[in-house]
Amino acid sequence: MLTFCITIEQRSRAQERAAALDLARSDPPGRHPFVWDNRLNSVIRWYDYGAPTNKLGIISFQSAPCSDREDSGQTEAITCTTELFHRPLPPSEDPRQTKITDPNEHWTLFTLFWHELLGEDITSDGRPGTDP
């Protein structure tokens, strides 16, 4: 799991963009760039929709104090956490989700969130923006 902070405005933008890139907007469903699903307190990114392993990433939003923002005391912020799963499709013998704990996979979800939903890249120091 990876935890990071965004502003309320960034959350709104991310959810609006996820709705615009809803996986049901492509034929067949889940074709890039339509690989997102907007939920009440999260956005979901489908990596291989319809594949037997069906990997998906979830970024959950929570109104809570943020420790990674320099301005967290001055601006309301949203705490975000990542979760990744393999969710086998029927007729899989084992229908249980398997949690993915590899930090590199969580970092990839983090960068996809910033790039695909907020239109920003991650700098070499791990922050959104552009390297000098």
Q: Note the pLDDT of residue 132.
A: 56
Residue 8 within any structural domain of the chain: yes
Q: Note the pLDDT of residue 72.
A: 46
Q: Quote the CA–CA distance of 67 and 69 in Å, as a whole number.
A: 6
Range of the domain at 51: 3-118
Q: Note the pLDDT of residue 110.
A: 96
Q: Note the pLDDT of residue 128.
A: 82
If one counts the domains in the chain, the total is: 1
pTM: 0.84
Q: Note the pLDDT of residue 78.
A: 94
Q: Note the pLDDT of residue 20.
A: 95
Residue 95 within any structural domain of the chain: yes
Residue 104 within any structural domain of the chain: yes
Residue 10 within any structural domain of the chain: yes
Residue 127 within any structural domain of the chain: no
Residue 124 within any structural domain of the chain: no
Residue 125 within any structural domain of the chain: no
Residue 102 within any structural domain of the chain: yes
Q: Note the pLDDT of residue 122.
A: 87
Name 18's Cβ contacts closer than 8 Å, sequence gap at least 6: 36, 37, 38, 43, 117
What does the DSSP assignment read for 64-79? ---SS-TTTTTS-EEE
Task: List, run by run, the mean pLDDT of 10-residue segments along the chain (132 residues).
Answer: 93 96 88 91 87 85 74 71 85 75 94 95 79 58
